[in-house]
């Protein structure tokens, strides 16, 4: 898997991710580029200095900024890893569950927001949903390197396991309690539905409570990553 862009590549290196080879454009002398190259040399990562034309051919996103890292596929974690991480910080679990997000730009934006807000981990389904890919990594601006992401076979089974851990599961959907009136201070998992269909029926039934963002306009839904961001920061404020 190739990862493109200065921020994304830098976060991979800083995060200690395995990089098979780093392709760097010739004659880059700006401060940010020099720092990335120095970090890569410190980590003893193989660097190939190549022309811009070579990088342009390798680039899928066409926004490589002079850096493309050839890395191993994303290393997903287990649910227990997320719970152990929250425990190690002495904090009540703060988890986001994505039910069928398919757009990699939305997924990447959600990862970036969650990392900034201190979310301990994200849970996604293995099937019929976007997985971590080059576009997700680029859109997250490198935040994916610092986020624990579990890819699970069955969301409902995972939600049941969270409940056994005394984690309250909120679904973010129309028709529920005003999110600003809900108590979001304890161990919590927030379920965000897909762009077109929202939260699936069984997952919605499995939630402890549904919370809703007030809307005053004519359009009846927000972009999934925007809605997630608003909800995550309301949880952060209350915590």
| Domains by residue range for the chain, with CATH | 2-71 (3.30.1330.30), 79-238 (3.40.1280.10)
pLDDT of residue 12: 87
Most confident of 28-37, 59-68, 135-144: 28-37
Location of structure tokens 């392709």: 23
| pLDDT at residue 237 in the model | 97
Token readout for 203 is 């997952």
The sign one gets for the Cα dihedral 26, 23, 148, 90 is negative
Q: How many CB atoms lie within 10 A of CB 87?
A: 12
Q: Report the share of the chain in percent with pLDDT over 90.
A: 74
For residue 145, pLDDT beyond 90 = no
Give 217's pLDDT tier (boundaries 50, 70, 90). Answer: confident
Query: What percent of the chain stands above pLDDT 70?
Result: 99
Q: pTM for this one?
A: 0.78
Instruction: Round to whole Å and give the CA distance between 44 and 160.
Output: 44
Q: How far apart are CA 66 and CA 80, in angstroms?
A: 38
């Amino acid at each position: 898997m190739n990862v493109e862009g200065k921020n994304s590549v830098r976060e991979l290196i800083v995060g200690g991710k395995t990089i098979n080879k780093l392709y760097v454009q010739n004659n880059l002398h700006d401060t940010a580029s020099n720092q990335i190259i120095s970090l890569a040399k410190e980590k003893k990562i193989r660097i190939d200095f190549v022309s811009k034309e070579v990088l342009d051919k390798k680039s899928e996103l066409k926004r490589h900024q002079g850096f493309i890292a050839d890395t191993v596929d994303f290393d997903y974690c287990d649910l227990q890893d997320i719970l152990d991480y929250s425990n190690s910080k002495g904090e009540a679990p703060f988890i986001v569950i994505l039910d069928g997000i398919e757009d990699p730009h939305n997924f990447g934006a959600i990862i970036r927001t969650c990392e900034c807000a201190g979310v301990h981990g994200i849970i996604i389904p293995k099937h019929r949903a976007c997985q971590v890919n080059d576009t997700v990594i680029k859109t997250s601006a490198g935040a994916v390197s610092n986020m624990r992401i579990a890819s699970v076979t069955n969301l409902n089974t995972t939600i049941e396991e969270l409940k056994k851990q005394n984690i309250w599961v909120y679904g973010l959907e129309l028709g529920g309690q005003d999110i600003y009136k809900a108590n979001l201070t304890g161990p919590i998992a927030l379920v965000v539905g897909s762009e077109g269909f929202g939260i699936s029926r069984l997952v919605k039934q499995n939630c402890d409570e549904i919370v809703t963002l007030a809307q005053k306009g004519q359009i009846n839904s927000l972009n999934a990553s925007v809605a997630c961001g608003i909800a995550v920061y309301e949880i952060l404020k209350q915590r």
